[in-house]
């Protein structure tokens, strides 16, 4: 029968909070309770009868509490199949009482690791008996209900109330699924702890915190975000974040992590920057970023590395944009920006912590280290007769940072800490350069004295030739082509400077 009445329960938990109402309800239903250690003491202090597991097994808790419930009289009562006469006969023969409900949680392993505890303390928080009880009960879901987290106590009470202690097969299977979710997550965290030094090449991802998104990349696609997003952002205003918002936000945060020393503002569209600028104030930085592409900014993702001031809010308030990210907002700025009800305002509380990136691909996954290399003046090798000036070097660093976060093939044009234009995601580097030059001119920029950054080397001198004719005077690129000298020779004939970084920044 799919309907099962709960007549007996085993309770052994680390966290006792919110357990009292559950015990009280089980008592009202006349359920026999088995327990051990601190949980047994807690139940007795509530004034409820409880049978000690030690009396059932004939063994005390041993090895400093490492072995308490690992016994056939416990696991037999959980794993015994009630629809098989052979199992029932064995239970009766060995005087093993069937157990219909198992309430067990696990030692706080993750929390102990996060606290910076010693290895000895961490190892002692690897649960053995608890996880075995959870798995046993979940395996025998046809007969046993498994409660594997204090988060489930309220739903258990509601279930007991509604059905007077009777559960259905579907209900037991649902809680079994929750139990295996908890046990698999627990084992994954233990593996990650041990594998920090071992370096075993395995991909194990477990994230239980999640939110359902309105839809995926397009309305006909379902989407979820897995992770504690609230640790990274406080949302002050606006509609619910979408899948595409989150993809763009990640790109914006990664880009802005390159800029910390001066007030900087960036505007992104489909993960690519259409405007980036640094200035004395965040309002000025916004104005300069917006100048680079006043069309693409519509519906974009905005990000600042300084507090949003009233002046900045006034400057951008008439622009339609999806999201604005900043470390803080003044009260007056918030009042201005909240005038549009759907405008998403986020306070960024931390940078991206992940050191790796994972993506599903074909019939598997690819994993790589994040590109955490930021090109600096110290990395530059001056390869031309005319050396880049101090002003040009600053502009080259700026342009290189933006190019690193732009889809390949890319060319970035900049001057005086301002993005002038970029060629994005082109199949040819020449096309990317032509796109950038045309766009810069369309928005009124004179490229005389501008600099150029490329995410990868130039296989031919055609790019530096086109750049020179446009007025560009300095170039940064990784170098490494067998025809590097041809590009160097052309630069020398036009009094251009060029630096090599030795580092490619493809972004697909």
Q: Which residues are catalytic?
A: 139, 270
Give 316's contacts (C-beta < 8 A, 6+ positions apart): 286, 290, 302, 324, 337
Give CA–CA dist 154/160, Å, rounded.
Answer: 10
Which parts of 361-428 fold into alpha helices (H)?
390-404
Give 180's contacts (C-beta < 8 A, 6+ positions apart): 135, 138
Give CA–CA dist 179/166, Å, rounded.
Answer: 19
The string of DSSP letters for 25-48 reads HHHHTT-EEEE-HHHHHHHHHTT-
Q: Give which of 223, 321, 315 is closest to 274, Cα–Cα.
A: 321
Rg over CA atoms, the chain: 31
Q: How far is CA 325 from the centre of its chain?
A: 17
What is the number of alpha carbons within 13 Å of residue 52 lying toward its C-beta? 11
Q: Give which of 93, 65, 67 is closest to 80, Cα–Cα.
A: 93
What is the number of alpha carbons within 13 Å of residue 73 lying toward its C-beta? 15
Give CA–CA dist 91/416, Å, rounded.
Answer: 82
**Contacts by 383-390, CB closer than 8 A, 24 or more apart:** 383/479, 383/484, 383/488, 383/498, 383/499, 383/500, 384/488, 384/491, 384/492, 384/496, 384/497, 384/498, 385/492, 386/492, 386/495, 386/496, 386/497, 387/497, 388/474, 388/497, 388/499, 389/474, 389/497
Give CA–CA dist 109/188, Å, rounded.
Answer: 11
Give 400's contacts (C-beta < 8 A, 6+ positions apart): 375, 412, 453, 476, 501, 505
Give CA–CA dist 212/223, Å, rounded.
Answer: 6
- The single residue listed with the structure tokens 């918002």 is 245
Residue 402 token pair? 């933006």
């Amino acid at each position: 029968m799919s309907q099962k009445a709960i007549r007996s329960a085993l309770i052994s938990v680390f966290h006792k909070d919110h357990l009292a109402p559950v015990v009280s309800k089980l008592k009202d239903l006349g359920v026999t309770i088995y327990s051990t250690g601190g949980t047994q003491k807690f139940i007795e202090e509530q004034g409820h009868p409880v049978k000690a597991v030690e009396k059932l097994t004939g063994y005390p808790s041993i090895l400093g509490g490492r072995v308490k419930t690992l016994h056939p009289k416990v696991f037999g009562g959980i794993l015994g199949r009630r629809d098989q006469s052979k199992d029932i006969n064995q239970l009766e023969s060995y005087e093993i009482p069937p157990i219909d409900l198992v309430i067990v949680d696990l030692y706080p392993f993750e929390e102990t690791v996060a606290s910076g505890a010693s290895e000895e303390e961490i190892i002692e928080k690897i649960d053995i008996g608890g996880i075995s009880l959870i798995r046993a009960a979940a395996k025998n879901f046809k007969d046993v209900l498994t409660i594997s987290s204090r988060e489930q106590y309220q739903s258990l009470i509601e279930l007991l109330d509604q059905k007077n202690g009777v559960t259905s097969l579907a209900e037991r299977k649902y809680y079994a699924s929750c139990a295996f979710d908890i046990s698999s997550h627990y084992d994954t965290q233990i593996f990650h702890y041990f594998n920090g030094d071992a370096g075993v090449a395995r991909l194990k991802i477990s994230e239980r915190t999640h939110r359902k998104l309105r839809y995926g990349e397009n309305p006909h696609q379902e989407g979820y975000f897995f992770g504690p997003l609230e640790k990274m952002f406080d949302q002050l205003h606006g509609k619910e974040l979408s899948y595409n918002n989150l993809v763009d936000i990640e790109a914006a945060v990664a880009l802005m992590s390159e800029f910390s020393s001066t007030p900087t503002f960036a505007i992104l569209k489909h993960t690519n920057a259409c405007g980036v600028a640094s200035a004395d104030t965040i309002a000025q930085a916004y104005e300069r970023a917006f100048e680079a592409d006043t069309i693409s900014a519509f519906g974009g993702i905005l990000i600042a590395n300084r507090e949003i001031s009233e002046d900045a809010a006034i400057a951008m308030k008439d622009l339609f944009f999806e999201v604005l990210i900043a470390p803080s907002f003044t009260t007056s700025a918030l009042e201005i920006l909240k005038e549009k009800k759907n405008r998403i305002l986020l306070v960024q509380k931390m940078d991206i912590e992940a050191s790796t990136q994972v993506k599903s691909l074909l019939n598997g996954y690819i994993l790589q280290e994040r590109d955490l290399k930021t090109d600096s003046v110290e990395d530059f090798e001056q390869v031309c007769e005319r050396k880049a000036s101090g002003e040009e070097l600053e502009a080259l660093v700026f342009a290189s940072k933006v190019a690193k976060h732009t889809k390949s093939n890319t060319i970035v044009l900049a001057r005086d800490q301002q993005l002038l234009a970029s060629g994005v995601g082109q199949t040819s580097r020449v096309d990317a350069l032509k796109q950038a030059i045309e766009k810069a001119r369309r928005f009124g920029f004179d490229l005389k004295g501008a600099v150029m950054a490329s995410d990868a080397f130039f296989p031919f001198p055609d790019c530096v030739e086109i750049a020179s004719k446009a007025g560009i005077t300095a170039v940064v690129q990784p170098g490494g082509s067998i025809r590097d000298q041809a590009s160097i020779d052309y630069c020398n004939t036009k009094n251009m400077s060029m630096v090599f970084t030795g580092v490619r920044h493809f972004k697909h």
